[in-house]
Structure 1
Amino acid sequence: MSDAPDNKPDYRSTVFLPRTDFPMKAGLPQKEPAIAERWKAENLYGQVRKSRAGRDKFIFHDGPPYANGDIHIGHALNKTLKDMVVRTQTLLGKDAPYVPGWDCHGLPIEWKIEEQYRKKKLNKDEVPAREFRAECRAYAQHWVNVQSEQFQRLGITGDWDKPYLTMDFAAEATIVNELYKFAESGQLYRGAKPVMWSPVEKTALAEAEIEYEDIVSTQIDVAFEIVESPIPELVGAHAVVWTTTPWTIPVNQGIAYNPEVEYVVYSRQQLDDPSNRKNYLIACDLREAFSARVDKALGEQGLWASEFFVGGKSLAGTIARHPMHKLGGFFAKPRPFLPGDFVTTDSGTGLVHMAPDHGEDDFELCKANGIEPVFAVEGDGKYREDWLWLGGQGSVINPKFNAPDGPINSDLREAGALLAASTDYQHSYPHSWRSKAKVIYRCTPQWFIAMDKPLGHQHAKTRAEKRWENEGGALVNGAHLTDDENATLRQLAMKAIAETRFVPDKGRNRIGSMVEGRPDWVLSRQRAWGVPIAVFVERKTGQLLVDHDVNQRIVAAIRAEGVDAWDEVRAQDYLGNGFKAADYEMVTDILDVWFDSGCTHVFTLESGHWPEQRWPADLYLEGSDQHRGWFQSSLMESCGTRGRAPYDQILTHGFTMDSKGMKMSKSLGNTIDPLKVMEVNGADIIRLWALSVDFTEDHRIGDEILKGVGDQYRKIRNTFRYLLGALDGFSAEERVRPEEMPELERYMLALTAQLDARLRKAVDDYDFNDYTRALTDFCNEDLSAFFFDIRKDSLYCDAPSDAKRRAYRTVLDILFEALVRWASPVLVFTAEEVWGTRYPDSGSVHLLEWPLIDTDWREDRGLFAKWSELRSLREQVTEAIEPLRRDKVIGSSLEAQVTVPSDADPALLAELFIVSSVKRGDALAVTKSGFHKCGRCWRLLPEVSQDGDLCARCDEVVNG
């Protein structure tokens, strides 16, 4: 308030201004760490568990981040969303434990240790495996510790003293035991199939470890001479294959055609040499593109003609020979024509060369025709030393090796088989998301879980029940096994997807399409740091040894000693008296880390190590990439062993882009480091950002966006600051019952009840964007800009015993108790500070439950209609006053006299509009009031005889 008029008493000391020690300046970077330390010292998580013991459970299972490096903004979003789930369910009164976890095995950690070796010029393969694994374990533990502190700094609540780690001995034993369930039900098998293989990392990769990048490849047209055919005229012609992977030509074993496609013998005659004439067999529809490629390669136009047409079906029995047939051996064998409906005329020549080692379609078609892989390409991408053509050379993913002048194409050109070659074919190609190098399809002996073999669950159920009883476990799992012996893993997974709630629902189609078409699960990896595929294979027959007692001896050893227990020197101990170690091979491959993480539901929810947990989980929450990752591996593992998904709901978030919508990249310099944001702005700002965006889609962050979030935060903080100040000295004796309150207060209670319903729905829908928006809009629009603005006169100037002021403060108390609870899952540190400011000795705000809001408050629909109309009228009046303020006709709205076309009580309207007076009229009009100003409340009223005197109300408060 400004100074009182000259020569008049100063009444400022008589005004009841809000008082609070709660500062306007947040200072979050300084305050938050101290609050987090207090939570840790007081074991707040344990207090929450105790306060919710015996309540209905809500089980959220944490998808494990990888223990490798500092957290990034994606981690911050992910963990904030998870924390919001746990905190809102806890606020609703449920027992919602949160056990954080980490994925600790796998290639990225191996690579980091290998990098350290390379810097020291050491060879990883020369280091004892046990020693190497110990270094990997220590590296993973270091980053678990670092990330744990960083997540706690973000305000994430959880059992941080007892997280789950896939490298814990008990977890490793559980993973092996889960593998045995697949072995004992007949789902585990070893086979040779093409799998995604990284020549750089020298291991098979899962689909979830692949990312696709646009590249430019060499495309070549290669001629295979036809030597036999039911169509005599074809003999001597050349079948033309087209490929963008020239390195697969040395492993070719056949040519695929489509029986439904029409082919043509297309001849080319050199213009200056009529005797130089060649006949080529290609698809009719691809003649022009093919001839253009050949003419361009030869540097001159030829004379092309269609000699005769051949129906695809007629090509059965046709045989060609490899361009390098003169090398003998493998290359001298006939190359049969094989029918394949996957052959299309979209591009190429309509004929596809078959290399069963390096393609899924190739493998299946050749296998069906008795053609087996030859394993010519080794793990490092080079042809094996004894290969007749290019032995010991490579790497096959090297562009120079595949270039038009590279060794493959040079040899084909010399053999007269290379018709065209160019480095201009643009397409999407799979890369390892770790090494960023191109991958290949490579056929190697691997371990698989069958997707389409009947699981025979009746037998598995009996065996499972017996096993869990023997191990003293609860019979939760057996109860979930299906009774359908003929169900396959794919069928069970598709059924589980149909029964799962997806938020947003489009996730159902995403994971469903992947599961519907996915191949058998490739489990094996050729690395050192991971859980072993701890099985024996009989040397003579190649048969997997499936013996429950042997398996359990191995599980017990791993539980006691970890993965190092899988050691050849102990083979006979594991095999016992029933089998001889000399007769069996110990498998040395490790498990796909997705199998590790797919088992986390078992050792976290079922093991009893966290007794507050139970299976299945109510919710899994991760980024949309996990539809092909953790969501899917967990689904596969659980359906294969328990007949259903380990979750009832899946919540998916999108990815965080920069402020322009571009993917974040260190090379572009557009990354946002959450650790730095917390240092400058505080963790609550990151949380408010994460819960304000539409996280179900890709979303943005940047300096300007964070600045806007900061402004939003300050408005919420000021709301709490006002509430704390306005409630100074409030006591229970001051309360007024709702039915005794003025209509404005009853309207605010109705709005509060309406907000309560909206927030509850937002929690049920996991719509945290709407939750946060509803909360902030209520603070800004309904409270600060409306209710607080109108009632500040009553708060400041009415007597403490005044019924209207008491009613206002009663509503403020209700609002405080509700808002601090509703804000606590979002602004975890600020809510604690707010609560502690008013109730310094009452414990943490995070022990509180959802506020009890009387739903009857929102039943009066007429009240909403009336006040909606009044608020609209208030906006019109405010807008009409502004020109007078701008032109300095009046100094504040209190100097305005308003005419409005309304039948509402003029005194109520004057209070609502914060003006001197209101009268009814046909149209809205604003003029300057002619009344004098009260020296205390500054209202211009007819009862004030001259400026500076007191109105009747103020006189009574001051002098009465």
Structure 2
Amino acid sequence: MTEEKKQDIYRDTVFLPKTGFPMRGNLPNREPEILKMWQAMRLDEKLKAQAAGRPVFTLHDGPPYANGHLHIGHALNKIMKDVVNRAHRMSGEGIYYVPGWDCHGLPIEWRVEEEYRKAGKNKDSIPVLQFRQECREYAQKWLDTQKEEFKRLGVQAQWDERYATMDFSSEAAIVNEIGKFLLNGSLYRGLRPVMWSPVEKTALAEAEIEYHDHTSTAIFVAFPIITDPTPSGALEEVSAVIWTTTPWTIPANRALAYGPDITYAVLRVDAVNESATLPVGGKILLAEERISAFAEEAGILSHHVLYTMPGLALKGAVAAHPLRGQGYDYDVPMLGGEFVTTDAGTGLVHMAPAHGEEDFILCREHGVEIDELVMDDGRYVDWLPLFAGVHVFKAADPVCAALLDAMMASEEKGLPPAGLVGRNTIVHSYPHSWRSRAPVIFRATPQWFIAMDGKGRLRQKALKVLENVAFVPSQGRRRLTSMVEDRPDWCISRQRAWGVPIAVFVEKKTGEVLRDKAVMERIVEAFRQEGADAWYSSPPERFLGNNYSAEAFEQVFDIVDVWFESGSTHAFVLDGKERHFPADLYLEGSDQHRGWFQSSLLESVGTRGEAPYKCIVTNGFVLDEQGRKMSKSLGNVVSPQDVNQTYGADILRLWVMNSDTREDLRIGKEILKQQGELYRRLRNTLRWLLGALEGFEEAEKVEYNALPELEKWVLTRLAELSAQLAHAVSTHEWIGVYPAFHGFCTTDLSAFYFDIRKDSIYCDAKDNLTRRAARTVLDILHRTLTVWLAPVLVFTAEEAWMARFGEGQSVHMEEFPVMPLEWLNTPLSEKWGTVRHIRKAITAEIENARQSGLIGSSLQAEVMLTFSEKEAALFAGYDWAELAIVSKVEIVVDPQSGSLYCEEGSSDLPIHQGPIVKAAKGYKCVRCWRVLEEVGQNVQHPELCLRCATVVETL
């Protein structure tokens, strides 16, 4: 009889794994089926009911924008949130996670306007209520789309209770929050420069700005000094020279700034090259440190310094605009500014207070007039001399031409230099609108602000409460703190139509904003019933009541910045009985330090005096495999929808939790294939556990104290990993947790524990203590690993749970198991670390024997293992043949040697030799495949070893 036929006879007596849990996940098809099953079993309702009475953990969802399909960054962030929520639920806490959406603002308005432009319609001709309705419908369409895409990612939430900033109740809450700032005196209207998009015709927040390289015209301009405050007359017939990269701001110049601590020089031009515009003999003022660089730029071949003076000597000096006589006939005072440096230019800065923050502050402090010269579309006002109607981004050439003419005229008249001194181009980082991708400008316009300082002391309060907020990673604290420290007053107004209006009235006679609580209450109630459209559809008398005349007040129609809206969401999401304020956690991308984290902080501190969160966690951005930003032009965009269809959402979720989310992440086909391989190993672990547990019964279980050391070591490893998981849950520091689980499954279990115990599980009798102990631990492993993997592999874990316990028994209703204290045995863990070291040494020698042709499989080998007396005592009673998966191990104790495997301290004894591998003596058991001399001793079953023969006879 052949060996194959002999094996066939005994195959049914081997307890091989049996399970309906398939090897291949087939996730793209299986995951939607599980989603339908969850819906049918009303899992969301069961989870909400389970949360009742538990301590509540609240993660407040930062609202994504309802505009287009989800991108990979959305998926990263929402998966992280889902893992955190599920982990806290499985830790025994109540989770009431309410997802939300930002629905107002420029991006949606812009998309609706695009449709108008395609149809040849003028947006301004569309009634505002019709326009707002079309924006609402557009937002609702994408909100519904994104909701289904989030569900497909396996994200669990109270979807039917989602919030949206365009809900009537939300709009009422937002305007109520505006009213709080109005009534406490923090809200005011003022003129100051803000970042303005000429394309979108609105102010923009810092969070709506991105920086790109931009080519600008840079010019040097001479301003003749007409008032000399120096006793020596050092500034007579001298011109101050400035440098700017925004020639279009020259018509708005109202002052010059010098550095009080900078040393300045008056130099006389002695010779110039043919391209220079400065006349020979002209006298100019600039920082002494900048003379050399300036001379090269201006084409000055030789010069000499007439005077040097400290910056303070310039106090009281007054210059004339270089275009004086052409409509620019005002004085240009020279003002001391601490912000002036000598890093570039001339050490003198031209001040256009309508177009720069520092310019505005310095000029306002000195009572300098501030004019609004640029209209909302970026064109100069019609009454501006020389440049009326010119767009600022096309103004460089006409401004330079006028300045060049002025310089030539001053030379012809023998006057001090006035006008263009030099011109070139530079490439520098410049702010652009993230929506239109077009460059923006600073433009002074009347806007609504929330004061950072003064009466409400918002800045100081915000910085104080941040001291009690936790940050993961920790450097987020400094980033947010520095942004709050440095930010100007919060500009909350936008000149658009789709949003919540800043619903206030301004008295026409005084310009004062009306601060009346009863008026605000009527506004809030109207919004609650009809939404913000009530502001546009109702007469002002509805809100003003009988105490005020509508004719005496201006009704404000600016809308509030969407960052104020999203920053207010805590007011209508966290004030429910099931959720608490402040939230335990805000989790968003690292860019939200200047966005949602900051606006939420300022809004909450301004209205409640405390932060809306206890902890902030940030994640990085997603790049392609080469570390490049994703773009359609590069063809490197990875969409979550494509990943779902190709690999499955569980693969995407595994990628998230295997990554260092604190830094920028990379994704692409090769990375996803790697994650697929990691997933396959985890799935195979679950599959083997399920197969090996086939038919497992409670009666098989072995008490902890009766377990062999190997099983106790596995439980120690579980306890160690459980502590790592608990630490992640409590600190929100998840880096390395799921890679550790993967390492446990592949290295500790599949390559070690399973490898060792397969023989006992497959071949020992059902009532054998070792087999029962192993299956006891396999039961614990299956329950524990499936629950631990459930927050990430939401579909696979559910499938693995149902494969054993049946449908309707969702793993997501389970809690993380509590590990008994006795399981955590550090000395045992260290001891078995040594066992694995010895096993590795044996395995290496087995491989050498295999390569030489001495043996085939490891079971064809027997090993002579030499121990020192210390090693022999430490490992007395161990079945090394089972541990090394060989047929026989002979232990030789060498009392004259030191330890090869254990630390021997200061022993001077020689180290004994390592393992020696020989071909095993005897015959192969056709059931367990071990080669033993005892095979053939059982007459009934001569092809079997004695152990296998006994088992077969009992079956």
Q: State the TM-score, normalizing by the size of structure 2.
A: 0.93
Counterpart position of 1:434: 435
Matched, 1:881 2:846: yes
Gaps of 5+ in 1: 296-300, 456-487
Deviation of the 1:279 alpha carbon: 0.8
Deviation of the 1:411 alpha carbon: 5.4
Provide closer, same or farther for how the CA distance between residues 670 and 684 of structure 1 changes in structure 2, counting only shifts above 3 A: same
Secondary structure of the equivalent of 1:566?
helix
Q: Larger deviation: 764-773 or 60-69?
A: 764-773
Q: 2:295 aligned to 287, 291, 297, which one? A: 291
What per-residue deviation string (whole Å, max 9, x for no partner) do you get for residues 607-643 of structure 1? x3xx421211000000000000000000000000110
Q: Larger deviation: 809-818 or 659-668?
A: 659-668
Counterpart position of 1:629: 595
Deviation of the 1:885 alpha carbon: 2.0
Q: 1:821 aligned to 780, 787, 809, which one? A: 787
Counterpart position of 1:934: 925
Matched, 1:325 2:324: yes
What per-residue deviation string (whole Å, max 9, x for no partner) do you get for residues 512-535 of structure 1? 000011100001000000100000
Q: 1:603 aligned to 563, 572, 578, which one? A: 572
Provide closer, same or farther for how the CA distance between residues 408 and 518 of structure 1 changes in structure 2, counting only shifts above 3 A: farther
Counterpart position of 1:758: 724
AA in 2 matched with 1:181 = K
AA in 2 matched with 1:200 = V
What per-residue deviation string (whole Å, max 9, x for no partner) do you get for residues 649-697 of structure 1? 1011111111111222222211111100100100000000001100011
AA in 2 matched with 1:135 = E
AA in 2 matched with 1:562 = G
Alpha-carbon separation, structure 2, partners of 1:3 and 1:620: 68
Counterpart position of 1:73: 72
Alpha-carbon separation, structure 1, partners of 2:311 and 2:178: 46
Alpha-carbon separation, structure 2, partners of 1:552 and 1:3: 94
What per-residue deviation string (whole Å, max 9, x for no partner) do you get for residues 881-939 of structure 1? 11222333211111111122332347611110000111224422112112211121111
Counterpart position of 2:858: 893
Matched, 1:709 2:678: no
* CA contact 2:269–2:279 (8 Å) conserved in 1: no
AA in 1 matched with 2:448 = W
* CA contact 1:409–1:418 (8 Å) conserved in 2: yes
* CA contact 1:906–1:920 (8 Å) conserved in 2: no
AA in 1 matched with 2:691 = G
Secondary structure of the equivalent of 2:265?
strand
Matched, 1:558 2:527: yes
Matched, 1:872 2:837: yes
AA in 2 matched with 1:915 = V
AA in 1 matched with 2:826 = R
Equivalent runs, 1:493-508 vs 2, <5 Å: 493-508=462-477
* CA contact 2:404–2:420 (8 Å) conserved in 1: no
Counterpart position of 2:377: 380
Provide closer, same or farther for how the CA distance between residues 756 and 276 of structure 1 changes in structure 2, counting only shifts above 3 A: closer
Deviation of the 1:646 alpha carbon: 0.5
Deviation of the 1:233 alpha carbon: 3.7
Q: State the TM-score, normalizing by the size of structure 1.
A: 0.93
Alpha-carbon separation, structure 2, partners of 1:587 and 1:168: 21
Q: 2:935 aligned to 929, 936, 944, which one? A: 944
Deviation of the 1:334 alpha carbon: 1.0
Deviation of the 1:16 alpha carbon: 0.8
Counterpart position of 2:636: 670
Provide closer, same or farther for how the CA distance between residues 309 and 920 of structure 1 changes in structure 2, counting only shifts above 3 A: same
Secondary structure of the equivalent of 2:281?
strand
Deviation of the 1:359 alpha carbon: 0.8
Alpha-carbon separation, structure 2, partners of 1:272 and 1:582: 66
Secondary structure of the equivalent of 1:849?
coil
Counterpart position of 2:144: 145
* CA contact 1:194–1:359 (8 Å) conserved in 2: yes
Deviation of the 1:131 alpha carbon: 0.4
Deviation of the 1:841 alpha carbon: 4.1
Alpha-carbon separation, structure 2, partners of 1:832 and 1:723: 15
Counterpart position of 2:413: none
Q: What's the C-alpha RMSD, in Å, of the aligned pairs?
A: 1.9
* CA contact 1:936–1:954 (8 Å) conserved in 2: yes
What per-residue deviation string (whole Å, max 9, x for no partner) do you get for residues 155-190 of structure 1? 000011221000001000100000111111110011
Alpha-carbon separation, structure 2, partners of 1:275 and 1:588: 54
Counterpart position of 2:331: 334
Counterpart position of 1:718: 684
Secondary structure of the equivalent of 1:686?
helix
What per-residue deviation string (whole Å, max 9, x for no partner) do you get for residues 462-510 of structure 1? xxxxxxxxxxxxxxxxxxxxxxxxxx11111101111101011110000
Deviation of the 1:410 alpha carbon: 5.6
Counterpart position of 2:451: 450
Counterpart position of 1:469: none
Secondary structure of the equivalent of 2:816?
coil
Secondary structure of the equivalent of 1:427?
strand
* CA contact 2:59–2:585 (8 Å) conserved in 1: yes
Secondary structure of the equivalent of 2:844?
helix
Counterpart position of 2:952: 958
* CA contact 1:933–1:948 (8 Å) conserved in 2: no
Deviation of the 1:702 alpha carbon: 1.3
Alpha-carbon separation, structure 2, partners of 1:217 and 1:889: 77
Deviation of the 1:418 alpha carbon: 4.1
AA in 1 matched with 2:952 = V
Deviation of the 1:424 alpha carbon: 3.1
Deviation of the 1:718 alpha carbon: 0.4
Equivalent runs, 1:471-870 vs 2, <5 Å: 488-567=457-536, 569-606=538-575, 608=576, 611-858=577-824, 860-870=825-835
* CA contact 1:747–1:864 (8 Å) conserved in 2: yes
* CA contact 1:568–1:586 (8 Å) conserved in 2: no
Alpha-carbon separation, structure 1, partners of 2:787 and 2:280: 88
Deviation of the 1:228 alpha carbon: 1.7
Alpha-carbon separation, structure 2, partners of 1:411 and 1:201: 35
Q: Larger deviation: 267-276 or 734-743?
A: 267-276
Matched, 1:125 2:124: yes
What per-residue deviation string (whole Å, max 9, x for no partner) do you get for residues 103-123 of structure 1? 000000011001000001111
Deviation of the 1:84 alpha carbon: 0.5
Deviation of the 1:751 alpha carbon: 1.4
Provide closer, same or farther for how the CA distance between residues 410 and 886 of structure 1 changes in structure 2, counting only shifts above 3 A: farther
Q: Larger deviation: 69-78 or 745-754?
A: 745-754
Provide closer, same or farther for how the CA distance between residues 843 and 948 of structure 1 changes in structure 2, counting only shifts above 3 A: same
Alpha-carbon separation, structure 2, partners of 1:769 and 1:343: 45
Counterpart position of 1:366: 363
* CA contact 1:246–1:409 (8 Å) conserved in 2: no
Secondary structure of the equivalent of 1:570?
coil
* CA contact 1:198–1:440 (8 Å) conserved in 2: yes
Alpha-carbon separation, structure 2, partners of 1:114 and 1:48: 43
Matched, 1:918 2:889: yes
* CA contact 1:897–1:915 (8 Å) conserved in 2: yes
Counterpart position of 1:208: 207
Alpha-carbon separation, structure 2, partners of 1:136 and 1:272: 60
AA in 2 matched with 1:392 = G
* CA contact 1:52–1:95 (8 Å) conserved in 2: yes
Matched, 1:278 2:282: yes
Deviation of the 1:280 alpha carbon: 0.7
* CA contact 2:41–2:808 (8 Å) conserved in 1: no
Counterpart position of 2:387: 390
Deviation of the 1:566 alpha carbon: 0.5
AA in 1 matched with 2:24 = K
* CA contact 1:899–1:918 (8 Å) conserved in 2: yes
Counterpart position of 1:477: none
Equivalent runs, 1:61-460 vs 2, <5 Å: 61-231=60-230, 232-270=233-271, 276-295=280-299, 302-328=301-327, 331-394=328-391, 396=392, 398=393, 400-403=394-397, 417-455=418-456
* CA contact 1:211–1:431 (8 Å) conserved in 2: yes
What per-residue deviation string (whole Å, max 9, x for no partner) do you get for residues 373-415 of structure 1? 1100111111001111301111x1x2x5325986565655665
AA in 1 matched with 2:922 = F
AA in 2 matched with 1:649 = C
Alpha-carbon separation, structure 2, partners of 1:8 and 1:758: 45
